[in-house]
Structure 1
């Protein structure tokens, strides 16, 4: 397939830096874009401020109606967006398409929620009215990752737009074509400059976040980038919402079917080659079931590797990062049961890998791997597993497989993470939201509460003149 070029939409401004994206499956060039330059960034922010002042005056129901129209346009282009996502990130076409429709669902959900997003009345004196009202923050910078790029962007953009903000979206430098096409589709429906797209690497994002004319930044991506975002925003006082990296633990309790536990572990660790924020990153298995569990997990990984269905890693840099963590683990005593070497040939394939004999000091247990790796540590009892799972600088989510209600309740109470899942690694209701802890983020980046994050509350006291009692 021919490489893509965006001469009108991407090649504007005064930037010289280019982004060339290659397909991680084949190594073929997907396309090249010119990064947004400083002059164009200034124009983009100024245009957003003008557009936002008009946009917030539109009734919430009207904003919701246009957001529903945008959802329908994006749904009509689902195949095109899924193809771009697959070519830029290596995600399977069917998974990419499902994620596009997850984004469409988020837009529809926020379109409905926006019209009923309101403050509350307060109990004051009978001769006056006291209430709070929500107002848009202003100009929102939305920084999104290359994983599920359409779904994540739609959630953040939809919530910002429906609450009356204007949006400047910078997609990941690993998926700029997808972000640009999505931005074009939003622009086809919404008023001019309500949603604008810029492209580039960390420098472009940093200049946007540090701009004193930005009112709120919503970032989903790595913890390292999230920390930079918070530091830059602290200088200007910009409100920050971020959902960042995780090192999600899976606890496998005694008394369960090892095959079922292994299937859950494989699903959590290997889905999209582990390139998910809520992927299983480390496993603590009870000694009573450890041998049978490892046998079944190894078989599941072997079957996945032989099927050819495993997605590649997004690029060579990610492949090298995953391989480095595995080599470090082996050098410090871990044993590879399956996988452990990059795939030969073109592209950035890495096999599903199972490690045993892992210890807390290994990088693969301490840091987010973001690859198809299942590192396993055997523990003597549930309490040991719970302590080990909680000893971490991240706090995104965790999963516990157990048949003991007391163990489930203990995990819910003691695990300091934003989301605890019992007996389902990817369980959760639509529209669910949580607050990640520690290095995993800040505030609500999903669900109805995101509308509050992208708004400011104003307290109103309304009294008649001359009446004060």
Structure 2
């Protein structure tokens, strides 16, 4: 195990005296978590310069040495797991337990190890006695990683682990809402990674724009909204950057008429409400056949009532607040519009605005039209609309009716029938009798305006390399 740092991680990442800083408040309590540095374009240039200096030796080290460093970094994450989880819980709001803060920190270590272990060999594409052509993947150079506020540590590792494994250096720009988590994670990772290869530039929008159009950065990875992704595409055009974009979802789930409502209720709930609904690939609109509609509504409501919501550091809680007030307002406004339209509130929809924190109650909405904004727009919070359908063709048409297609799911007692429906859904991943589960061995990416490029597994590594054919 790696030795722990001599000072707390929050102290280690705080701005130096006299440097600008931003107070970060706990979204559950409003209390001060810590002060994050506010970096600018000068710090971005310094990070790029350090990356350029360090990257050639890292590229020359080869896959075995780089994999060993990633495994050592995983050891360091595990050694600091408790402190990292508490920083994450206080800054992002997610509880320690359940599929939340401790889970996210554990996933960071697991992804580092899985990335280190993934095999990527040169591929002989032609060898016929006259022609020999072999496909290799060389380092790109410097990768810019722009992360979100919902899973700040885990998604950062999704970006930096394959980039480093492929011989690149990485400059990270975290969300302004959750910089402390990413700064603390990098502080831990850099115990095992050579200096200059991983730098976090904790700044505002100008830093993100500067990263996206910087001529020395060869690739940008971004997870976030479709609108911001389009802006990055525009910013990257002049330098013809490689891009991996994981954008908005509004994922659909279809429950077939043979499904057992009581058997699928727990899976449906966590597919929708993991991280209090603040997940790109969460289930955000549910289509249920009329024959079992009321039974599914009841089973979901019964299960949802059992899941406690509250301050993340309280060990019993499994759901937390919305991370910021803007997101709270989006969810509240969409639910109010659904109520005004005559939709039926099965649970929730009644926030207590007098209490501290950005808590919006677990909310289930039935008898809602497919065109309602709560269905048609990505709510990104703890509110699930449940739409009734009469035949599977109708459900497929509604599920495919939006411009996004990150994930989807089909629920049935007959997995083969579910797979047949799955092949007709316009989504990068379609789960059967589950929703949102990701695996470091399985490629992941979106369809339509949910982005392009793949992450995870050997395919994900390829997207962090520059393909080169050796012909002869």
Normalised to the residue count of structure 1, the TM-score between the two structures is: 0.92
CA distance in 2: counterparts of 1:428 and 1:58, whole angstroms: 30
Quote the residue 1:319 is aligned against.
328
CA distance in 2: counterparts of 1:310 and 1:331, whole angstroms: 27
CA distance in 2: counterparts of 1:355 and 1:273, whole angstroms: 16
Quote the residue 1:467 is aligned against.
none
Quote the residue 1:465 is aligned against.
none
Partner SS, residue 93 of structure 1: coil
Distance 1:218 1:12, change over 3 A: farther
Matches within 5 A, 1:225-240: 225-240=228-243
1:329 aligns with 2:334: no
Stretches of structure 2 that go unaligned for 5 or more consecutive residues are 1-7, 310-315
CA distance in 2: counterparts of 1:432 and 1:405, whole angstroms: 20
1:447 aligns with 2:461: no
1:107 aligns with 2:116: no
Quote the residue 2:378 is aligned against.
368
Quote the residue 1:339 is aligned against.
348
Partner SS, residue 60 of structure 2: coil
Distance 1:293 1:104, change over 3 A: same
| Match among 45, 49, 52 for residue 52 of structure 2 | 49
Partner SS, residue 306 of structure 2: helix
Q: Alpha-carbon deviation of 1:100? A: 0.9
For structure 1, which segment, 404-413 or 289-298, has the greater mean C-alpha deviation from structure 2 after superposition?
Answer: 404-413
Q: Alpha-carbon deviation of 1:250? A: 1.2
Q: Alpha-carbon deviation of 1:10? A: 4.8
Partner SS, residue 161 of structure 1: helix
Q: Alpha-carbon deviation of 1:9? A: 4.3
| Match among 354, 366, 377 for residue 364 of structure 2 | 354
Partner SS, residue 414 of structure 1: coil
1:400 aligns with 2:403: no
Distance 1:429 1:213, change over 3 A: closer
Q: Alpha-carbon deviation of 1:14? A: 9.8
1:178 aligns with 2:177: no
1:460 aligns with 2:470: yes
1:378 aligns with 2:382: no
1:206 aligns with 2:216: no
Distance 1:359 1:164, change over 3 A: same
Distance 1:341 1:249, change over 3 A: same
For structure 1, which segment, 332-341 or 159-168, has the greater mean C-alpha deviation from structure 2 after superposition?
Answer: 332-341
Q: Alpha-carbon deviation of 1:103? A: 1.1
CA distance in 2: counterparts of 1:396 and 1:258, whole angstroms: 25
Quote the residue 1:97 is aligned against.
102
Q: Alpha-carbon deviation of 1:108? A: 0.8
1:120 aligns with 2:123: yes
Matches within 5 A, 1:39-188: 39-94=42-97, 95-113=100-118, 116-124=119-127, 126=129, 129-188=132-191
Distance 1:15 1:438, change over 3 A: farther
1:436 aligns with 2:440: no
How big is each residue's C-alpha offset from its partner over 1:239-277, in whole Å with a ceiling of 9 and x where there is no partner? 000112211111112132222233332222222211112
Q: Alpha-carbon deviation of 1:206? A: 1.3
How big is each residue's C-alpha offset from its partner over 1:412-432, in whole Å with a ceiling of 9 and x where there is no partner? 221010111111224455521
CA distance in 2: counterparts of 1:257 and 1:110, whole angstroms: 37
Partner SS, residue 279 of structure 2: coil
> Is 1:70–1:185's contact at 8 Å kept on the other side of the alignment?
yes
How big is each residue's C-alpha offset from its partner over 1:190-209, in whole Å with a ceiling of 9 and x where there is no partner? 11101111102332111111
CA distance in 2: counterparts of 1:155 and 1:216, whole angstroms: 15
> Is 2:248–2:378's contact at 8 Å kept on the other side of the alignment?
yes
For structure 1, which segment, 81-90 or 303-312, has the greater mean C-alpha deviation from structure 2 after superposition?
Answer: 303-312
CA distance in 1: counterparts of 2:468 and 2:268, whole angstroms: 46
Distance 1:51 1:291, change over 3 A: same
> Is 2:152–2:178's contact at 8 Å kept on the other side of the alignment?
yes
How big is each residue's C-alpha offset from its partner over 1:319-338, in whole Å with a ceiling of 9 and x where there is no partner? 11100111122222322222
CA distance in 1: counterparts of 2:77 and 2:320, whole angstroms: 24
CA distance in 1: counterparts of 2:390 and 2:57, whole angstroms: 62
RMSD between aligned residues: 2.2
CA distance in 1: counterparts of 2:68 and 2:327, whole angstroms: 40
> Is 2:285–2:385's contact at 8 Å kept on the other side of the alignment?
yes
Distance 1:15 1:308, change over 3 A: closer
Residue-pair matches, total: 456
Distance 1:48 1:25, change over 3 A: same
Partner SS, residue 374 of structure 1: strand
CA distance in 1: counterparts of 2:9 and 2:61, whole angstroms: 35
Distance 1:387 1:59, change over 3 A: same
Normalised to the residue count of structure 2, the TM-score between the two structures is: 0.91
Distance 1:281 1:31, change over 3 A: same
Stretches of structure 1 that go unaligned for 5 or more consecutive residues are 463-469
Q: Alpha-carbon deviation of 1:146? A: 2.0
